Amino acid sequence: MFDTLSDRLTSVLQNLRGKGKLSEADIDATAREIRIALLEADVALPVVREFIKQVKDRAKGAEVSQALNPAQQVIKIVNEELVAILGGETRRINLAKNPPSVIMLAGLQGSGKTTLAGKLALWLRKQGHAPLLVACDLQRPNAVTQLQVVGERAGVTTFAPEPGNGVGDPVEVARRSIDEARRAQHDVVIVDTAGRLGVDEELMRQAADIRDAITPDETLFVVDAMIGQDAVTTAEAFRDGVGFSGVVLTKLDGDARGGAALSVRHVTGQPILFASNGEKLEDFDVFHPDRMASRILGMGDMLTLIEQAEQAFDQEKAEQAAAKLGTGELTLEDFLEQMQAVRRMGPIGNLLGMLPGAGQMKDQLAQVDDAHLDRLQAIIRGMTPAERANPKMINASRRQRIARGSGVTVRDVNDLVNRFFEARKMMQQMAGRFGFGMGASATK
């Protein structure tokens, strides 16, 4: 996602960097390039116009002409305007003061609503909420079962009409789910509604009836970022037909050009609350306009990376490992644990993509894959606890056994063991120089 746009914008802005003073012609040329890049990324025309106008007006004004470094100032303006187009401040989800809070999902069939219901439920559950999923898509065969499966995976209860007892009315199901939430003390209700392949009146009417029956605290319009320009027309139809208070972008992991993400907020006037970027329930996050902008401009997304790390790493274990570094006691078991923590943060390619400058290192990054890490983990798992704790004992015959057991060559095992020793030595030297490890743990 955003790769082409990101490449284009990064190179346009890089061209500016070398220049001391900027002429009007420089600014016009830059604006023209940015305009082409946005249009090629499928950003809606009115959004492109507005964006270019803002950037040009500001770039020709005093803040640039009086700046010490005009080029840097233009980059800053482009970044700020990108953040503004994406919605400015991060908008948090609104939960009611008096539970249950009601969140209704609306969108076309296939936009990712049901998957999102599970993602949202898991995300809320991790924050201590007790969500109830409600199946109001009674048209698509299997929709109810699909929601139940997703609910099970997220570890939450699903409320669905019992088959055969005549409940075929989604409005009635929605209404009853609120009573059920009160009875069973669920503090958030997430209502999945029916979608159609295209926008149609009946679909809108049904969604509006459900809305009137349950007065949601949030109505989220779920839109597939891969549908490009259509995202805008669909969003307008849902805005007029049902109304919504926020947008969720799905399939941001796809190779679409990203125009939907950049247009939807501006066109509908409603903020993007969440972004979905994969089929797994964990592939989901709050949408931060500022982080998305710096990702698009190739400045990386360090904040998201840090937050994911905080969630994935067990603080205590990480500190124990750090303390061992200085003493040279780090074992392969510690190594395995740290590697597993990294893996919990998501596919390695996604993680590396968030680093600043990652866009320009794509070829190197493509070589770091999950399969490689899987192989390293398999090798360590093939070792006995004694071997993991004391890698020095891993002699030639042990190496052969480990290779056989984990389905790799002896050379792979040698590589891993040698690298481990090198890394341990290097860390020990660094620890000595910077005073962490043993010293740090002794002062605690």
One of 4, 54, 110, 130 touching ligand GDP (CB under 6 A): 110
**Tokens at residue 160, please?**
């669905």
Which two tokens mark 369? Answer: 């894959």
Report if residue 279 touches ligand GDP, rule: CB under 6 A: yes
Residues 6 or more apart in contact with residue 46 via CB below 8 angstroms:
266, 267
The answer to the question of residue 253 lying near ligand GDP (CB under 6 A) is yes
CB of 165 vs ligand GDP, minimal distance in Å: 24
195 belongs to the binding site for ligand GDP (CB under 6 A): yes
Q: Is 195 within any annotated ligand binding site?
A: yes
Looking at 250, 263, 294, 331, which residue binds ligand GDP (CB under 6 A)? Answer: 250
- Give the torsion through C-alpha atoms of 163, 168, 170, 171, to 10 deg: -130
Of 255, 235, 257, whose CA–CA distance to 246 is shortest? 235
Q: Among the candidate windows 163-171, 247-255, 260-268, 312-320, which touches ligand GDP by CB under 6 A? A: 247-255
Are 108 and 200 spatial neighbours (Cβ–Cβ below 8 Å)? no
Pairing of strands 284-286, 272-276: antiparallel
Binding flag, residue 263, ligand GDP (CB under 6 A): no
Q: Which is nearer to ligand GDP, 31 or 191 (CB)?
A: 191
Candidates 10, 30, 277, 406; binder of ligand GDP (CB under 6 A) is: 277
Among 56, 58, 91, 113, binds ligand GDP (CB under 6 A): 113
**Which residue, 279 or 314, is less far from ligand GDP as judged by CB?**
279
Nearer to ligand GDP, 153 or 175 (CB): 153
Which of 56, 211, 251, 291 touches ligand GDP (CB under 6 A)? Answer: 251
Q: Could you say which of 6, 73, 79, 114 contacts ligand GDP (CB under 6 A)?
A: 114
Could you give the CA distance from residue 236 to residue 147 in angstroms, rounded to a whole number?
27
Site for ligand GDP in 382-421 (CB under 6 A): none
Pairing of strands 131-136, 188-193: parallel
Across the beta sheet with 272-276, the strand order is 157-159, 131-136, 188-193, 101-106, 218-224, 246-250, 272-276, 284-286
Residue type, 77: I
Cα–Cα separations (whole angstroms), residue 260 to 90, 117, 233, 234, 266: 18, 21, 10, 11, 10
Q: Is 108 annotated as a binding residue?
A: yes
Of 230, 215, 268, 223, the closest CA to residue 87 belongs to: 268
Q: What angle do CA 20, 25, 31 make, to 5 degrees?
A: 95
Question: Judging by DSSP bridges, how do beta strands 188-193 and 101-106 pair with one another?
Answer: parallel
Residue 278 interacts with ligand GDP (CB under 6 A): yes or no? yes
252 is known to lie in a ligand binding site? yes
Question: Please, what is the minimum distance in Å from the beta carbon of residue 274 to ligand GDP?
Answer: 10
Check binding of 112 to ligand GDP (CB under 6 A): yes
Is 145 annotated to bind ligand?
no
CB burial of residue 140 (10 Å; 0-12, 13-18, 19+)? middle
Closer residue to ligand GDP, CB minimum distance, 138 or 417: 138
Position among 115, 193, 270, 331 found at the interface with ligand GDP (CB under 6 A)? 115
276 forms part of the interface with ligand GDP (CB under 6 A)? yes
Q: How many residues in the shown chain lie near ligand GDP by CB under 6 A?
A: 18
Interaction site with ligand GDP (CB under 6 A): 107, 109-115, 195, 250-251, 253-254, 276-279, 283
Q: Show binding-site residues for GTP.
A: 107-114, 192-196, 250-253
Q: Show binding-site residues.
A: 107-114, 192-196, 250-253
